[in-house]
């Protein structure tokens, strides 16, 4: 037979199937391992290859966080956006307060007209706007049928009382009702401009 004259170990290796040869190996005289079927073994990567792999470099970058330069760049971008957006935001806030003041003046004007229909005249400067929610203690009208507002007299959008004059300086036959704007002083421009009932 063909196996005659061969070493017992060699004969047994040839008799093994390729699948079983994966788990069978021989040791030579120097103690090294000789796999019976080298094609069925996988070569593991070295430590240096593992350390330099792309996935590891990404993990290391995530662990190290952002650099100082990256943080400074983000801060600069945010500051530039803030300088561009903030003026527009404040401009819209000022316009919204002006619109609120005009709406409140119109509401108070409607209540004053209702008061006049009952009392025959607008409340005087001394009686003030408070005459719209409670009967005046000074020169109380006989036909007061208030309150003429469902809520208390509102403050203007800048948290100040509305200026009420009756008879008015501009409207001597009626009343002057105004908000003095953001600065609280007569006149002004922009946010400081007065909001008046006759304009």
Residue-wise pLDDT for 20-76, tens only, equals 444 444 444 444 444 444 445 455 555 555 555 555 555 555 555 778 888 888 888
Highest mean pLDDT among 127-131, 135-139, 190-194: 127-131
For 76-106, the pLDDT digits (tens) are 888 887 777 666 655 666 788 999 999 999 9
**Phi, psi angles (nearest 5°) of residue 35:** -65, 140
Nearest CA to 97 out of 2, 183, 10, 198 is that of 183
d(CA 103, CA 7): 110
d(CA 177, CA 110): 12
Topology adopted by domain 91-196 = Glycoprotein, Type 4 Pilin (3.30.700)
Domain ranges of the chain: 91-196
pTM (global) more than 0.85: no
**What pLDDT sits at residue 79?**
80
């Amino acid at each position: 037979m063909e196996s005659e004259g061969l070493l017992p170990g060699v004969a047994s290796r040839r008799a093994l199937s390729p699948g079983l040869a994966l788990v069978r190996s021989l040791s030579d005289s120097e103690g090294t391992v000789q796999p019976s079927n080298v094609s069925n073994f996988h070569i593991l990567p070295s430590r240096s290859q593992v350390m330099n792999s792309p996935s590891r470099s990404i993990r290391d970058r995530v662990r190290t966080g952002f650099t100082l330069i990256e943080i400074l760049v983000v801060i600069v971008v945010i500051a530039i956006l803030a300088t561009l957006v903030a003026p527009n935001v404040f401009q819209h806030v000022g316009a919204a307060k002006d619109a609120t003041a005009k709406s409140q003046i119109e509401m108070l004007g409607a209540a004053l007209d209702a008061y006049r229909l009952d009392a025959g005249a607008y409340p005087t400067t001394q009686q003030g706007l408070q005459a719209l929610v409670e009967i005046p203690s000074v020169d109380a009208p006989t036909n007061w049928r208030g309150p003429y507002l469902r809520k208390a007299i509102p403050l203007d959008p800048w948290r100040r009382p509305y200026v009420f004059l009756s008879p008015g300086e501009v409207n001597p036959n009626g009343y002057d009702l105004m908000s003095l704007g953001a600065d609280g002083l007569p006149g002004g421009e922009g946010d400081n401009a007065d909001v008046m009932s006759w304009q």
